[in-house]
Amino acid sequence: ELKVEQNPLFLSMQEGKNYTIYCNYSTTSDRLYWYRQDPGKSLESLFVLLSNGAVKQEGRLMASLDTKARLSTLHITAAVHDLSATYFCAVDPAGGATNKLIFGTGTLLAVQP
């Protein structure tokens, strides 16, 4: 059974600092997604990573994928309060006949002024 683990589970950081969230998964995958969820809200798609070595950036967030290591990272640069949210990675198992996503446990990010 595919397992997706994120760390840390909780991250408190100061504005202006940099940090990385890690997403490890236990079997091969050809698609990995990052989502953001605000409290009581739905999930917002941030990044779609489709191949080994893929790197995507949007504002202060940058995501990368290493399929050989079965690892994705979400890097936060010069954090601001508006980035406070829960971040999920989700994996689409390789070769699957369906598009179901296996979600990580989530990382709750709190950016302090």
Partner 1 sequence: NAGVMQNPRHLVRRRGQEARLRCSPMKGHSHVYWYRQLPEEGLKFMVYLQKENIIDESGMPKERFSAEFPKEGPSILRIQQVVRGDSAAYFCASSPTDRNQPQHFGDGTRLSIL
Q: What is the CA radius of gyration of the chain?
A: 14
Contacts with partner 1 by CB under 8 A lie at 4, 31, 33, 35, 41-45, 48, 50, 88, 90, 92, 97-106
Least distance CB 78 / partner 1 (angstroms)? 26
Cβ contacts of residue 41 below 8 Å, gap of 6+? none
Q: Which is nearer to partner 1, 22 or 103 (CB)?
A: 103
CA nearest to 107, candidates 28, 4, 13, 10: 10
- Rounded Cα gap, residues 66 and 44, in angstroms: 23
Least distance CB 98 / partner 1 (angstroms)? 4
Q: Which is nearer to partner 1, 98 or 113 (CB)?
A: 98
